[in-house]
Amino acid sequence: MRKMIKTRLFRTLGLLLAALCGAALLTAASKPAPPAAKVNWNTVVARTPLDSHLLGNPAAAVKLVEYISYTCPHCAHFEQESDAQLRIGFISSGKGSIEVRSFVRDPVDLTVALLTHCGPPAKFFANHSTFLRHQMTWMAPLARLTDGQKARWSNNDFAARTRAIASDLGFYSLMEARGYGRPEIDRCLADKALAERLAQRTKEAGEKDFVNGTPSFLLDGVPLSGTYSWAALKPQIEARLR
C-alpha cells in the first residue's frame, strides 16, 4: 500500500515538473528574439583593389564614386559642404556608400594622396578630410617657394622629393597631429609603387569614366556630366533614394 502511494506520488511530481518545464519552454519560445545590433555604417571602411576607399555599406543600393584632387579648391569646398549631410542622410541608413578615388594632377597632389592612404583603411577618411579642410593653409607657401625648395622638389630620388614637399608644406605637422610618427610618415612618402598605381588609375579614369576635372562623380556607375558641386549632386542622390 505504501509502495503504491509512493509510486503515485512520484508519478504526480513527475507530471507536475514536466508541465512546469513545458510552460517555461513555451514562455521562452514566445519571447521575441533580441534585435540585431545596428551597424554604424559611418565607421565601416574598406580599401578596394583600385587603391580607393569605400565608406558605408558595401551592398548599398546607391553607390557614389567621387574623384578628387587634393590641390583642387572645388574639392575642398565640396568636402566642407557635403560631408555631414552625406554621412547623416546617405551613409548612416545603409542605403548609400561613398568611394573616394584619387585623381592625381601634380607632385603636391600625389604627396598628399600618399599620406591620406597612410596606415589602416579606417584612418583614410579622417586623413582625407584633414588635408581638404586645411587646404588653404598648406597651399599658401606654394606662392613663395625659394629656388632651393624647387630644386629639392626636382630631386631624382622619389622619397627625397616627397619628403621635401611634405616638409615645406607642413604635412608632417598635420600627420603628427593625427597620431602618426615620423618613421611611419616617411615610409608612406616612399611608397613609389602606390604612387605609380595612383598615376595609372588617374589615366584610366580619364579613359574609362571620362574624368577630366575634379570633383567628378559616378552614381551607380554612371558618370554625372556637369556635376561638380554638392548643390548639383544632392538632388540626384535624393532621387535615387526614393
Q: What is the mean pLDDT of residues 129-142?
A: 97
pLDDT number for residue 155: 85
Helix (H) or strand (E) holding 2, with range, is helix 2-30
What are φ and ψ of residue 163, in 5° steps? -65, -40
d(CA 82, CA 13): 70
Better pLDDT: 27 or 119: 119
Q: Delimit the domains of the chain by residue range.
A: 45-241
pLDDT digits (tens, 9 = 90+) for 56-80: 999 999 999 999 999 999 999 999 9
For residue 25, is pLDDT > 50? Answer: no
Paired with 55 in beta bridges are 45, 98
Length of the chain counted residue by residue: 242
pLDDT digits (tens, 9 = 90+) for 160-173: 999 999 999 999 99
pLDDT number for residue 156: 86
Share of the chain above pLDDT 70, in %: 85
The three three-digit cell numbers of residue 222, written as one number: 554612371
Of 235, 238, 240, whose CA–CA distance to 222 is shortest? 240
| The CATH number of domain 45-241, selected from 3.30.465.10, 1.10.1840.10, 3.20.20.70, 1.10.40.110 | 1.10.40.110
Residue 141: Cβ within 10 Å count: 13
Q: What is the mean pLDDT of residues 71-98?
A: 96
